[in-house]
Amino acid sequence: MIVGSYRAFMEMSNFIAKSADDCLILMGEVVYKVSFIDQLMFKVLNEVDPEEAKILRNTLNENFDDWKESAVNNFLEQYPEHYKWHLEETDWEGFMERLTDIYKKEK
């Protein structure tokens, strides 16, 4: 009985860790695509109105910083309490380092 419970716990732990990695991959894809669109928007606006483009860039950066903080906080809040022991990352930089490791393993 104890062995079965331990095995179920570890299987769930692996499932949660893999799901967390998948979430980080999705976050990485979102960041890449949003950044690309923001750069295009900035480039076009810069050609028309450079001053407005600077304001837009500052606004986009602030919004992106807010989004990153929200994404990290939501991720950590929703992570199952009994499995937080294998979370090494607790901030955006840590998540991006983990994402880099994931990409390296996939190659």
Q: In whole angstroms, how far apart are CA 2 and each of 6, 9, 82, 84?
A: 6, 10, 17, 22
Q: What is the DSSP string of 16-63?
A: HHHHHHHHHHHHHHHHHHHHHHHHHHHHHHHHH-HHHHHHHHHHHHHH
Q: What is the pLDDT of residue 106?
A: 83
pLDDT tens for 46-96 read: 899 999 989 989 999 999 999 999 999 999 999 999 898 888 899 999 999
Q: How far apart are CA 84 and CA 76, in angstroms?
A: 9
Number of domains observed in the structure of the chain:
1
**What is the domain extent for residue 35?**
2-106
Instruction: Tell me the whole-structure pTM to 2 decimals.
Output: 0.83
